[in-house]
Amino acid sequence: MRFLAVDPAKAGIWNTQVFAEYDSTTTDAKRKDLFRNEGTRMKNQCFNPYLPSWEYIPDGEPYIFDGRVYVYGSHDRANGYVFCLNDYVCWSAPADDLSDWRYEGVIYEKTADPLNRDGRMCLYAPDVTVGPNGKYYLYYVLDKAPVVSVAVCDTPAGQYKFYGYVRYPDGARLGEREGDEPQFDPAVLTEGDTTYLYTGFCGIGDKSRTGAMMTVLDPDMLTVREKPVFIAPGSCYGKGTSFEGHEFFEASSIRKYGDMYYFIYSSVAMNELCYAVSKYPHKGFTYGGVIVSNCDMHIDTYKPANKRAYPGGNNHGSIININGQWYVFYHRQTNGTWFSRQGCVELIEIKSDGTIPQAEMTSLGANGKPLEGYGEYSAHIACNLLGLGDEETSAKITQDGRDGDEEQGYIAGITDSTVVGFKYFNCAGIRKVSVKTRGYCKGEFEISTSLGGIVLGVVSVEFTNLWTAFSAELAIPDGTHALYFTYRGSGSASLASFILEE
């Protein structure tokens, strides 16, 4: 089976990553100082994932406050066994330099909620809004509670304090009254003294869950002014609607652009981050399309549309306009599990008719142009992990050490016919490539600029317990290209990085 060669003109638009090497004893305070002082060397290029390779922040909700982009999300662990095991942390970057991400520290601990003093429940995907009083309100749910909790802070990334639960005027908590559907994945948008709260989870085939809900809150940010209404159907209620085939599953997010409301959500396909639009915050939403898929389903510029180009899973994120450019923040799966997710970002376009063409997964983050086609690149920025033809791959992006250890990411489990892809590079005069590998393997990496395309060079590798560089001569044509490394051989290899040289 042969794949389509990529057409750079169709390859979509292009993306931030912070690289830092610290020892495993680095404290929160020290980490903050180190990142604050690294601005100069981090302005070179951006990558996906946009945060360090050892950080796991899925469900990203990006906002601009006072000239900085803040990303709020849940917090997975490296090699986690369930979702969202860690406390909420925050990262931020200058709006004019999305390579310069700063660690803001822990902003909210799971035990701060009165329902979770023993820490048995996890903090699921949050959202943040600025209330009428100028304070910052953090909305979230615990994984086993049907209610929406709220915390408050005077600054975007300070220490949030528990504030209360979203409740009806009589004090009953939203999600617990008879007839209420359980609350999940809150998204919030404040206009004037009104806050719109979007929630919901609809398991496939579960007729007890109707769809995504919208509830209007009073200026106190807790009290229900208008009871929930349904704005997007779940899997059992989408037939005959514009949502059919892309019904609401979870991951509510809400943005307003011009006079239109954009409801972003994860569909029943899970890997899709979709959107719906309406002139109203509470009704009239129609399905718009897929913004991004974390396995590149539907993208046919370099592969068949129904071919998974990465081990996908659930998805959650949102869109934001930064200095006139639109971006989608989403997450990918790593460590061979759904429970260790990392945030990625791609450039997108909102066209004059309000539609958003689907973005392609890349290694670029917020780079805005192809990466420099020379030098050394960490393997963890791979955007494609797949097998040839109909084969799947067991390869995974992972790290050594325990959760919290600031170990550089790499790719493990590369076996015969595994393809590792990186996009995109502006190459000129490249005549040599090296790969740093380790593991019980004996074979070779074939290098090409398209899936199933002409092999431009072959790097032979062999067993080694230490990261070892193996090299070969080749000629990469000048121009903008993807780079694909296909392993042929026995055993299982790990890939730390590759080096392009003139």
Listed in sequence order, the DSSP H helices in 148-298 are: none
**DSSP string across 382-437:** --EEEESTT-----EEE-SSSTT--PPPEEEEE-TTEEEEEEEEEE-S--EEEEEE
Q: How far are the Cα atoms of 57, 153, 199, 284, 350 from residue 280, in angstroms, in the given order?
A: 31, 29, 17, 7, 19
- Where is 36: in which H helix or E strand? helix 28-36
Return d(Cα 480, Cα 48) in angstroms, integer: 18
Return d(Cα 259, Cα 442) in angstroms, integer: 59
Largest alpha-carbon pair distance within the chain? Answer: 74
CB neighbours of 349 closer than 8 A, spacing ≥ 6?
13, 326, 356, 357
Return d(Cα 482, Cα 427) in angstroms, integer: 10
Return d(Cα 295, Cα 205) in angstroms, integer: 24
**Phi and psi at residue 30, in whole multiples of 5°?**
-65, -40
Q: With contact defined as beta carbons under 8 Å apart, do 320 and 72 qualify?
A: no
- Where is 225: in which H helix or E strand? strand 224-233
CB neighbours of 273 closer than 8 A, spacing ≥ 6?
251, 264, 265, 266, 290, 291, 292, 293, 294, 315, 316, 317, 328, 330
3-state secondary structure of 373: coil
Q: Which of 76, 100, 113, 250 is catalytic?
A: 250
**Phi and psi at residue 318, in whole multiples of 5°?**
-165, 180
204's tokens:
């496939």
Does the annotation mark 28 as catalytic? no
Q: Which of 55, 59, 185, 407 is catalytic?
A: 59
Q: With contact defined as beta carbons under 8 Å apart, do 152 and 213 qualify?
A: no
Does the annotation mark 392 as catalytic? no
Strands 318-322 and 286-293: unpaired
Cα Rg of the chain, angstroms:
23
Bond into 424 cis (ω within 30): yes
Q: How far apart are the first and last CA of the chain?
A: 32
Which residues belong to the active site? 59, 250
